Structure 1
Amino acid sequence: MKLPKPRKRGDSYRIELMFNGKRISATRDTEKECEQWAMLKLLELKTNQNNDKENVRQHYPLSALMLKYYDEVGRFLKSSRVAKITIRRFIQAYPVLAETSIHDITPQMLTDWRNSRLKQVSSGTVLRDISLLSSIFSYAKKELFLIEVNPFSLVSKPTQPKSRNRRIGESEIDMIIKAHNYNRGQVPTETQHFIAWVFLFAIETTMRQGEILSIKRSNIYNDYIHLPVTKNGDVRDIPLLDSAKDLLKLIPDNGTDQLINISSTTFQNMFGNRVRKLGLVDFHFHDTRHEAITRLVQKRKIPVEILAKITGHKTIGILINTYYNPTATEISRMLNESN
């Protein structure tokens, strides 16, 4: 049997064989390595050294598996938007790996991808990517029965990044609301106004962006907001400070039960663009949660066990070490005030 010619795919080469009507492929760094693999594979198949059922498998690109996973699993997750974006970017950025058959993907290939990714983004982002990709391979193993081993089980994960301790200063708050053409106490009438309002409301309540955008008018009570669905799957009631109540009074009745009619995609795109134009360093919307929690402890003297009820944290250590971020000066002031 004449060997097919390897085809160049990005920085690698791919070769395909047909045996008994089934396609088998492999990706290697050079043409010679592809040809060597093909000769050995043909010899292996012809001499029946391995069971055909286990070793002659239909070509199943990783990209096809990723899209199938999203369609059947990912789109139903709370993090569906993130999963969709991650899958799309992976297929675009790593076409050779994306078109490699899942039967041929090795831990070494995924390790090379991990190292390449770490040069572009933070270790935290890579960890999230690995979590999604590992779930996709587990889906192929446990639900589709296409593979016997999840290759990510042999890939080392990067070191967990240190917890963020980014606080938001009053001057930065002023910059954010000004960038959205909003003034404190103003009734929001435009999308940019509502985004600034959500930013201010987050600082007054410790609520996440998605939680605020999901608020129903029917779940707003005199002293609290009821959240039937949260990130960790539990229900939660958010007590309202007077400052938060004043902000709620500014929202006009839009005739629906939805308090804020802005999609998560629109919100993140607009907010992210304004932050980049302002040139704020290492600034994320989620930092409002750090700021809000720290303010509750400092200004309201909220005990940590009550604080956990407000924020929805099940692990006190994560709440204290990750989200409560007083500066050394602030701690000194608190110690002196107690004397």
Structure 2
Amino acid sequence: MKLPKPIQRGSSWRITVSFENKRYSATRDTAKECEHWAITKLADLKNGKVSEEKGIKTAYPFRELCDKYFQEHGRHLKSGRTILFKIKNVERIAPNLANKSIYEFKPADIVEWRNKRKKEVKVATLRNEHAIYSAIFTYAVKELFLLESNVWHSVSMPSKEKSRNQRITVDDQVELLKSLDWFGVTTPETPRQLVAWAFLFALETAMRQGEILAMRRADLREGFVHLPVTKNGEPRNVPLSKEAKRLLALLPAENDVLVPVGNHRLRMMWGRAKKRAGLSHINFHDSRHEAITRMVKVRKLPVEVLAKITGHKTIGILINTYYNPDAQDLVEMFNSSES
């Protein structure tokens, strides 16, 4: 059978093959990869047809399903980088499942994986991996029609760990800025100083690390910054305090991307800085917790307004996870309500 020619679409290539009046397509980075996929796909379809006639299902290793899921669906998602990491490392993360045929998966296999993995990683990581691998099986059920049900749904995961409530004190803030060699009064020039700037800006706005690094000058408006893309998939407008405006005024006017530092580099420099400062327990994301708590304490913002600023769709997550008042904060707010 003569193979169809791959078609270039932007920076990728797509090929479509037909077998018994059904069409199958794939997108790859090169034309040669498309042709290789087409040859393998047609061979699998033909072998599968013979096996079906004999009542035998051709083995379909989980790792192959993972690869197909990423190419056809996962890489287009906002969490694509995380999905790719879990797929590339599936033989290390789930050695008892990676090469097992998806038709042979049993709840006991997943229980075995869960119990072993629970000893290796935090609960949040385990739950994330379960969600990704379960989504891959759902894809096989609803998009590929290879399975009738998702066996991952039959196995429960450990409950979520208690949310972090790490606050950042003024002293912590000073030590971290000292470690990053910037104190918020001059134009940040080095990558390390830009990380310090991002940290202070996060404390003022409650913006996420990725949102700050993605800011462009065109996103700045009169009194707020417009975020066209956020974690929950919807745009958001974040009001700017006087301090946030002052910090923005310190940035070089020629910068289109306001903080030209990559996510990976920021994480590396932040990790080193907090160790130098003796504050290894503080994560950059704790600045979001601190900022939200300060907004309530200082600005007395009602929760529905706060949710619009922070981008939380679920009020419960905002209150129970990100608002972290200490006992003295509660006492002061309680007493101020009587005056």
TM-score normalized by the length of structure 1: 0.79
- Summarize the alignment of residues 74-93 of structure 1 with structure 2, pairs less than 5 Å apart: 74-93=74-93
Q: 1:89 to 1:270 in 2, by over 3 A?
A: farther
- Whole-Å Cα distance in 1 between the matches of residues 221 and 230 of structure 2? 18
User: In the TM superposition, what is the alpha-carbon distance from 1:228 to its structure 2 partner?
Assistant: 1.5
- Whole-Å Cα distance in 1 between the matches of residues 160 and 59 of structure 2? 35
- Summarize the alignment of residues 99-110 of structure 1 with structure 2, pairs less than 5 Å apart: 99-110=99-110
Amino acid corresponding to residue 187 of structure 1 in structure 2: T
User: In the TM superposition, what is the alpha-carbon distance from 1:53 to its structure 2 partner?
Assistant: 5.3
Indicate the residue corresponding to 2:290 in structure 1: 291
Contact 2:63/2:98 (<8 A) preserved: yes
- Summarize the alignment of residues 115-154 of structure 1 with structure 2, pairs less than 5 Å apart: 115-154=115-154
Indicate the residue corresponding to 1:333 in structure 2: 332
- Whole-Å Cα distance in 2 between the matches of residues 54 and 312 of structure 1? 55
Contact 1:188/1:251 (<8 A) preserved: yes
Q: 1:171 to 1:221 in 2, by over 3 A?
A: same
- Whole-Å Cα distance in 2 between the matches of residues 67 and 290 of structure 1? 36
- Whole-Å Cα distance in 1 between the matches of residues 55 and 169 of structure 2? 60
- Summarize the alignment of residues 31-180 of structure 1 with structure 2, pairs less than 5 Å apart: 52=52, 56-180=56-180
Indicate the residue corresponding to 2:261 in structure 1: 262
Q: 1:90 to 1:271 in 2, by over 3 A?
A: farther
Tell me the SS of whatever aligns to 1:71. Answer: helix
- Whole-Å Cα distance in 1 between the matches of residues 276 and 107 of structure 2? 40
Tell me the SS of whatever aligns to 2:97. Answer: helix
Q: 1:183 to 1:133 in 2, by over 3 A?
A: same
- Summarize the alignment of residues 227-246 of structure 1 with structure 2, pairs less than 5 Å apart: 227-246=227-246
Answer yes or no: is 1:189 the counterpart of 2:189: yes
- Whole-Å Cα distance in 2 between the matches of residues 110 and 153 of structure 1? 10
User: In the TM superposition, what is the alpha-carbon distance from 1:94 to its structure 2 partner?
Assistant: 3.3
Q: 1:224 to 1:92 in 2, by over 3 A?
A: same
Tell me the SS of whatever aligns to 1:115. Answer: helix
- Whole-Å Cα distance in 2 between the matches of residues 189 and 263 of structure 1? 15
- Whole-Å Cα distance in 1 between the matches of residues 112 and 192 of structure 2? 42
Q: 1:304 to 1:69 in 2, by over 3 A?
A: same
- Whole-Å Cα distance in 1 between the matches of residues 166 and 327 of structure 2? 14
Contact 2:184/2:247 (<8 A) preserved: no
- Whole-Å Cα distance in 2 between the matches of residues 108 and 281 of structure 1? 39
- Cα shift readout 1:196-239 (whole Å, capped 9, x = no counterpart): 21111111001111111111211101200011121112221100
- Whole-Å Cα distance in 1 between the matches of residues 134 and 319 of structure 2? 30
Indicate the residue corresponding to 1:247 in structure 2: 247
Aligned length: 291
Indicate the residue corresponding to 1:32 in structure 2: none
- Whole-Å Cα distance in 2 between the matches of residues 179 and 103 of structure 1? 54
Q: 1:242 to 1:105 in 2, by over 3 A?
A: same
- Cα shift readout 1:13-47 (whole Å, capped 9, x = no counterpart): xxxxxxxx969xxxxxxxxxxxxxxxxxxxxxxxx
Q: 1:333 to 1:229 in 2, by over 3 A?
A: same
Indicate the residue corresponding to 1:205 in structure 2: 205
**RMSD (Å) for aligned C-alpha atoms:** 2.3
Amino acid corresponding to residue 331 of structure 1 in structure 2: L
TM-score normalized by the length of structure 2: 0.79
Q: 1:69 to 1:169 in 2, by over 3 A?
A: same
- Whole-Å Cα distance in 1 between the matches of residues 191 and 158 of structure 2? 39
User: In the TM superposition, what is the alpha-carbon distance from 1:281 to its structure 2 partner?
Assistant: 5.0
Contact 1:22/1:56 (<8 A) preserved: no
- Whole-Å Cα distance in 2 between the matches of residues 96 and 292 of structure 1? 43
Tell me the SS of whatever aligns to 2:121. Answer: coil
| 5+ long unaligned stretches in structure 2 | 1-45
Q: 1:152 to 1:186 in 2, by over 3 A?
A: same
Contact 1:168/1:291 (<8 A) preserved: yes
- Whole-Å Cα distance in 2 between the matches of residues 53 and 163 of structure 1? 53
- Whole-Å Cα distance in 2 between the matches of residues 258 and 330 of structure 1? 37
Contact 1:137/1:150 (<8 A) preserved: yes
Contact 1:22/1:57 (<8 A) preserved: no
